[in-house]
């Protein structure tokens, strides 16, 4: 792996330390049902601790611990690892960029660069958003008609919730996605380190956000149908 990658990972680690600082880890009790305070949480409410908020559940601002959990899931979650392997495998089969070569070492280079980019982007988004209470978690709303849910998927690629639970522009994401892709030009190979390529990667980053939202929105329904639960 190229020597510049550890510098990127050190930057990511520093932001993770920021996330777990006492300022952002205020204790918070999980939401409980209003009718029976001691009753167990419904599955939809518990889902928010897995990086997804249910639109019908009482909203509680994201805690520092939940920000760290969200960042780790975005980076090390099975969906992220699978997509990274798939994209790196396709790029290796096409030998793009050519400097890495069509072999396992080339696959490792491509996967490592993509992985460090996802880690940095997620950490920047979670850490920077904590300054003004931007919540990066997806808000699933299964009560909407299909067209409304699709609109929700698209809209939440560019918006997030604030401390009051109201929708706001996802400013931290606007910084994290392009900032990460332009910053990575400093250690990418020459053919992949242009402004044009960075802009393309930024566009793909937001398309990936849309795809991730769609997965969070519709996969639970498909899973119940497939497994008859």
How far is residue 15's CA from residue 12's CA, in Å, rounded to a whole number?
A: 5
User: pLDDT in tens for each of the 229 residues of the chain?
Assistant: 444 444 444 444 444 444 444 333 333 333 443 434 334 444 444 444 457 889 888 999 999 999 999 999 999 988 888 988 999 999 999 888 888 898 899 899 999 999 988 999 999 999 999 999 999 999 999 999 999 999 999 999 999 999 999 999 999 999 999 999 999 898 899 989 999 999 999 999 999 999 999 999 999 988 888 887 5
Q: Would you say the C-alpha torsion 167, 168, 172, 173 has a positive or negative sign?
A: positive
Over 104-120, what HEC string results?
HHHHHHHHHHHHHHHHH
Confidence (pLDDT) at 27: 34
Return the closest-CA partner of residue 123 out of 24, 229, 43, 42.
24
Report the domain count for the chain.
1
Is residue 1 one of the residues assigned to a domain?
A: no
Q: Which domain holds residue 88?
A: 47-227
Task: Please tell me the number of Cα atoms within 13 Å of 2 on its side-chain side.
Answer: 19
In a domain, 23, yes or no: no
In a domain, 131, yes or no: yes
Residue 107 domain flag: yes
Residue 226 half-sphere exposure toward CB, CA atoms < 13 A: 6
pLDDT at 227: 80
**Within a domain: residue 42?**
no
Residue 96 lies in a domain: yes
pLDDT at 50: 56
Answer whether residue 22 is part of any domain.
Answer: no
Specify if 12 maps to a domain. no
Phi and psi at residue 62, to the nearest 5°: -65, 140
């Amino acid at each position: 792996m190229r020597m510049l990658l550890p510098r990127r990972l050190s930057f990511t680690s520093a932001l993770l330390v920021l996330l777990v600082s006492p300022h952002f880890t205020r204790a918070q009790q999980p939401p409980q049902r209003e009718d029976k305070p001691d009753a167990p949480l419904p599955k939809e409410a518990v889902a928010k601790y897995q990086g997804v908020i249910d639109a019908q559940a009482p909203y509680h601002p994201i805690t520092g611990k939940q920000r760290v959990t969200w960042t780790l899931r975005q980076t090390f979650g099975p969906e992220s690892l699978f997509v990274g392997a798939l994209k790196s495998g396709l790029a290796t089969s096409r030998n793009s960029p050519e400097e890495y070569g069509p072999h396992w070492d080339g696959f490792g280079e491509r996967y490592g660069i993509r992985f460090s980019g996802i880690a940095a982007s997620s950490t920047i988004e979670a850490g920077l958003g904590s300054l003004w209470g931007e919540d990066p978690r997806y808000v699933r709303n299964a009560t909407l008609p299909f067209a409304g849910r699709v609109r929700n998927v698209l809209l939440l690629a560019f918006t997030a919730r604030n401390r009051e639970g109201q929708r706001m522009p996802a400013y931290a994401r606007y910084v994290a996605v392009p900032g990460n892709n332009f910053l990575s030009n400093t250690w990418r190979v020459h053919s992949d380190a242009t402004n044009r390529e960075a802009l393309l990667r930024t566009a793909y980053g937001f398309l990936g956000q849309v795809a991730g939202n769609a997965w969070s929105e519709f996969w639970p329904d498909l899973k119940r149908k497939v497994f008859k639960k």
